[in-house]
């Protein structure tokens, strides 16, 4: 039995050896075939698309940061003292020019108007004018006090003339003539005094008219209205509160347009002019993407530089569709001119280890060209050096290497 077992073991080992030899001999041709196919694939040209280097108009811009401010900001205050009867607005309320903001109680001021009207009527009555209604033209000589003084003067003049005749004939004593002459002088002075009194009363009428206008204006001032279109920034009083004259009630701001305030260094400010376009970006990332959120124009330039910072204050008017708020910090780009520059698609630029390059094609092979880039606008990048207009670059080189065989899909 032991002899038979050893014989079977020897036969099994011999079969395993034969199978191993057959597998090795069969795998060798397959590996050789696979290596041949791989070598063939590595030498296949890579298909690429070319893009021309073209001239494009790029804007010359100044990039800076600034703060948005309200176009106008007013604090509404009580012009007259009194208790607040009502307030028609609250925080963020929208108001138009002339809209009611608050109302002061009017009772005391209505009484003031009635008192002024009565005083005016009294003054007009003293001149013989109607106590109400339109004021007629005043004839000083036709007033009662002047007519009375004139009548007294004429009577004294007649008495004096008669005594003059009688004295000449010796029928009247000199004493009576002297008394008549003195009465004539007093009557003449009384007429002048009457005319002056009429002028004083006329001045009193004008004073009473002025007092009435003041009383009416005070009554009108109990109504506080918005002087501008805008939004309520703050409400500073409440119904029932007693306010002194000048006490703040509400703060209203106009937010369309907004004022963009920029402080530019002297060197950059020299190229800024009124009417130039200004583009706003909400963040530095948005500015890099090149898509402005809002645009406006340069509206005002300060007449002088700040003596400490040597910067010039510039204001731009920015139309506001509702997304912007006073106080927003924004990135701004002022367009001060334009220039024609060679450009390539942004996808054609390859950056490695801080160096920039593009891939061109020469004799069916990829050729690396170092370049220096400038500003970007949209999907195109300015080429400062390394390429000339009319040349072509690989539009999307990806991992394309120097010397690699390529096949161009289409003409630039």
User: Could you say which of 3.10.20.30, 2.40.420.20, 3.90.180.10, 3.40.50.2300 is the CATH number of the domain covering 46-58+341-408?
Assistant: 2.40.420.20
Q: Which residues pair with 275 in a beta bridge?
A: none
- What is the C-alpha to C-alpha distance for residues 306 and 159, in angstroms, rounded to an integer? 87
| 208-233 residue pLDDT tens | 999 999 999 999 999 999 999 999 99
Mean per-residue pLDDT for 38-48? 65
Q: Phi and psi dihedrals of 60, rounded to 5?
A: -90, 120
Mean pLDDT of 85-99: 95
Phi, psi of 392 (to 5 degrees): -130, 145
Q: What does 187-250 look like in DSSP terms, one character per residue?
A: HHHHHHHHHHHHHHHHHHHHHHHHHHHHHHHHHHTTEEE-SSSEEEEEE---TT-EE-TT-EEE
Each as own residue / partner, the long-range contacts of residues 185-193 (CB below 8 Å, 24 or more positions apart, any chain) are 186/156, 187/149, 187/152, 187/153, 187/155, 187/156, 187/157, 188/153, 188/156, 190/149, 190/152, 190/153, 191/146, 191/149, 191/150, 191/152, 191/153, 193/149
Closest by Cα among 267, 244, 281, 254 to 94: 254
Residue 69, pLDDT score: 94
Per-residue pLDDT band at 410 (split at 50, 70, 90): low
| Distance from chain centroid for Cα 364 | 59
| Residue 209: Cβ within 10 Å count | 16
Is pLDDT of 185 > 70? yes
Length of the chain: 412
**Is 274 in contact with 316 (CB distance < 8 Å)?**
no
The reply to whether omega before 257 is within 30° of 0 (cis) is: yes
Locate 196 and state its tokens: 């002056």
What mean pLDDT is predicted for residues 233-249?
96
Residue 167: strand, helix, or coil = helix
> Count of CB atoms within 10 A of residue 256's CB?
16
Band of the pLDDT at 41, cuts 50, 70, 90? very low
* Strands 242-243 and 82-87, bridge-based pairing: antiparallel
Give yes or no for residue 104 having a pLDDT over 70.
yes
What integer best gives the mean pLDDT of the chain?
86
Percent of the chain beyond pLDDT 90? 63
- For the CA atoms of 100, 102, 108, 109, the dihedral, rounded to the nearest 10 degrees, stands at -40
Tell me the mean pLDDT in the region 116-139.
Answer: 88
Q: Helices marked H in 55-173 — which ranges? A: 107-126, 144-168
Instruction: Kindly state the DSSP code that residue 405 receives in the 8-state scheme.
Output: B
Higher pLDDT residue, 248 or 166? 248
CA angle 165, 169, 174 (to 5 degrees): 75
3-state helix, strand, coil in the chain (%, to 5): 35, 35, 30
CATH superfamily placement of domain 61-71+255-338:
Efflux pump adaptor protein, beta barrel domain (2.40.30.170)
Q: What is the 3-state secondary structure (H, E, C) of 313-345?
A: EEEEEECCCCCCCCCCEEEEEEEEEEEEEEEEE
Confidence check: pLDDT of 26 > 80: no
Provide the whole-model pTM.
0.64
Residue in 145, 99, 234, 164 with CA at minimum distance from that of residue 153:
145
Inter-CA distances, 196 with 52, 69, 143, Å: 100, 60, 12
Per-residue pLDDT, averaged over 44-52, amounts to 89
Q: How far apart are CA 263 and CA 328, in angstroms?
A: 15
Return the pLDDT at 17: 41
The pLDDT value given to residue 68: 94
């Amino acid at each position: 039995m032991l002899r038979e077992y050893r014989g079977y073991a020897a036969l099994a080992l011999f079969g395993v050896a034969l199978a191993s030899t057959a597998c090795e001999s069969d795998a060798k041709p397959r590996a050789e075939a696979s290596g041949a196919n791989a070598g063939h694939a590595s030498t296949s040209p890579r298909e690429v698309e070319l893009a021309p280097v073209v001239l494009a108009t790029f804007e010359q811009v100044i990039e800076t940061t600034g703060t948005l401010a309200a176009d106008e900001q007013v604090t509404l205050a009580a012009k007259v003292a009194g208790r607040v009867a009502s307030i028609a607005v609250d925080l963020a309320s929208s108001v138009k020019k002339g809209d009611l903001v608050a109302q002061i109680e009017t009772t005391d001021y209505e009484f003031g108007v009635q008192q002024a009207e009565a005083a005016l009527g009294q003054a007009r009555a003293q001149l013989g004018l109607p106590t109400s209604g339109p004021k007629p033209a005043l004839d000083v000589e036709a007033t009662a006090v002047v007519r009375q003084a004139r009548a007294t003067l004429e009577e004294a003049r007649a008495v004096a003339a008669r005594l003059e005749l009688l004295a000449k004939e010796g029928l009247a004593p000199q004493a009576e003539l002297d008394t008549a002459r003195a009465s004539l002088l007093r009557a003449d002075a009384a007429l002048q005094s009457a005319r002056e009194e009429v002028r004083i009363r006329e001045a009193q009428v004008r004073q009473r008219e002025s007092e009435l206008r003041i009383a009416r204006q005070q009554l009108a001032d109990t109504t506080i209205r918005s002087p501008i279109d805008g939004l309520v920034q703050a409400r500073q009083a409440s119904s029932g509160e007693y306010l002194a004259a000048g006490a703040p009630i509400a703060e209203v701001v106009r937010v369309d347009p907004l004022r963009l305030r920029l402080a530019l260094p002297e060197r950059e400010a020299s190229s800024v002019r009124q009417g130039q376009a200004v583009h706003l970006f909400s963040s530095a990332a948005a500015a890099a993407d090149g898509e402005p959120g809002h645009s406006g124009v340069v509206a005002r330039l300060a007449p002088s530089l700040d003596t400490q910072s040597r910067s010039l204050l510039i204001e731009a008017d920015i139309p506001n569709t509702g997304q912007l708020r006073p106080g927003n910090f924004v990135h701004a780009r002022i367009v001060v001119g334009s220039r024609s520059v060679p450009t390539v698609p942004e996808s054609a630029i390859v950056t490695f280890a801080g160096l920039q390059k593009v891939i061109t094609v020469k004799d069916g092979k990829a050729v690396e060209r170092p370049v220096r880039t400038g500003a970007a606008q949209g999907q195109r990048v300015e080429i400062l050096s390394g390429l000339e207009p009319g040349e072509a670059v690989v539009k999307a080189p990806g991992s394309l290497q120097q010397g690699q065989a390529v096949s161009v899909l289409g003409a630039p």
